Amino acid sequence: MSQIQLVPVPALDPHRFAAVVDAEAYTEFIALTERAAGRLRGRVIWNLNSTASGGGVAELLGPLLGYSRGSGVDARWGVIPGTPAFFAVTKRLHNHLHGVDGDGIGLGATDRAVYESALADSGAELGRLVGPRDIVILHDPQTAGLLPAVQATGAAAIWRCHVGTDRPNQLARDAWDFLAPYLEFADAFVFSRAAYAFAGLSPERVTVIQPSIDVFSPKNAELGAGQVRAILARAGLAPSGRPSGRGEDALFTHADGTPGRVDRMAQRTEMDVLGDDVPAVVQVSRWDRLKDPLGVISAFADHVAGCSDAHLVLAGPATVGVSDDPEGAEVYDDVRAAWHELPVDVRRRVHLAALPMDDVQENAAIVNALQRRATVIVQKSLAEGFGLTVAEAMWKGRPVVGSRVGGIQDQIEDGRSGVLIDDPADLAAAGRAIAGLLGDPERARRLGEAAHERVRERFLAPPHLGAYLQLIESLLAGSAQARSAIVLRSMARKADTTAGSKCLPDWAETSATAAAGSQADL
């Protein structure tokens, strides 16, 4: 039985960006993709992560690999399996990399044994799937332990970390120490912010690449007002029984251009359905404590509800649809419990929605409609790697209130293309920012227009994909000596620091031989 699930990736036409980016950027992008298609002929670019749906990494991979395939590059996507114990360890790593304690349990020898045991079969399968001329991009802590296995194939290995903290504490350093023995086998590292790069990594192997959104996807494609209302009504997030006004059904367009329709209902916790005419404050995110849904509820209840007639909508994926996040169901239960504790008059204006994940593109269409329905969008994260929902909301011309943390501060220019809260724990400040936009529609409109333009200039696929292709070109141009040195250094470090590790000794000797022997092909 295959351990790695291969995710189908339909080719997407890169020429469609002629309609949304300026002419110079478009010309440079097409020239780069054409050059890459020629230089990468006969090679496969593999991307491995831990889930095919739910979360930012899955959101990124579909379009990036689709545009790669549409450019003539053989890009493929694999999802590794994992046990509940494995995902408990990787969630701990995820939290620690953000500098947050999470479940309060440290990282020890037992965690390493669980981690390596769960990855062993996937590592063996990589030896059968990956060729020495390939490039493998491993995403986040879940896959870092496969770096020795990738080097054993002779392929170029890139570790892409989507999370981090601007101010590393001991928790973050503990996570770095846990991952360090595997990272020695990487040819290159990619981070979303320069501040996220681990201490001790060779600067010449570190690249900063900011994520992007696909504006043609079901989550971001243009929707008419009638479509928005029909989709939300079909999902149970707007009143049903009244015609949309123009006869549109709950229709959307799939990424491959084929028609789709929203048929599934969200799981809702509410007293009344969200009315058509009330202002809506919306946060869309995973059910994750780092997204601070409890703080959003408190900020709304204590600092917005009393000075506005707005309603709050907290939406996230149905927890059964996100396999690599073991805390999701627990957080969702905590949010529902907090909802029940609200005063009745406030509770009537707070709506919780767990969106169906059976069809990820249907889910995306519901999110699209919900963001377009919003008056103000919030992302009050306590920590954030990048925060794709911010760029998605900005693209839709909505004013966003976000925390000044991680990649959110790279997207929003405070006072120009949104509003940043300096301290995400300051609920009064969050409430004032939200209430201020609700009370000043003209300012909200100006911020939304500027937000759309900022995303168009900075956070679309052409610069994102172009940066990856340039990194891969530079790796393939690297010398045999440089790649062999990576393996030899990692073997020496392993001998000093990872005694007792079951994974590294099996791969190290093979890796050195394969890496040295395959350089002529690179």
The pTM of the full predicted model, rounded to 2 decimals, is: 0.86
Residue 408 · residue 380 · CB < 8 Å: no
The pLDDT score that the predictor gives to residue 484 is: 54
The pLDDT score that the predictor gives to residue 513 is: 43
Tokens found for residue 314: 């907290």
Task: For residues 42 and 376, give the distance between their C-alpha atoms in angstroms, rounded to a whole number.
Answer: 48
The pLDDT score that the predictor gives to residue 482 is: 52
C-alpha closest to that of 32 among 58, 2, 75, 71: 71
The pLDDT score that the predictor gives to residue 327 is: 84
C-alpha closest to that of 85 among 115, 63, 64: 115
If you ran DSSP here, which 8-state letter would residue 460 be given? B
The pLDDT score that the predictor gives to residue 392 is: 97
Residue 47 · residue 77 · CB < 8 Å: yes
Distances (CA, A) of 177 to 107, 204, 222, 495, 497: 10, 20, 45, 15, 10
Calculate the CA 311 to chain-centre distance.
Answer: 27
Task: For residues 7 and 196, give the distance between their C-alpha atoms in angstroms, rounded to a whole number.
Answer: 29
Q: Which domains, from first to last, does the chain contain?
A: 5-212+462-521 (3.40.50.2000), 265-459 (3.40.50.2000)
Residues of the chain under the 50 pLDDT cut: 1, 243-247, 479-481, 489-490, 493-494, 496-522
Q: Name the H helices within 278-407.
A: 293-303, 328-341, 344-347, 360-373, 388-395
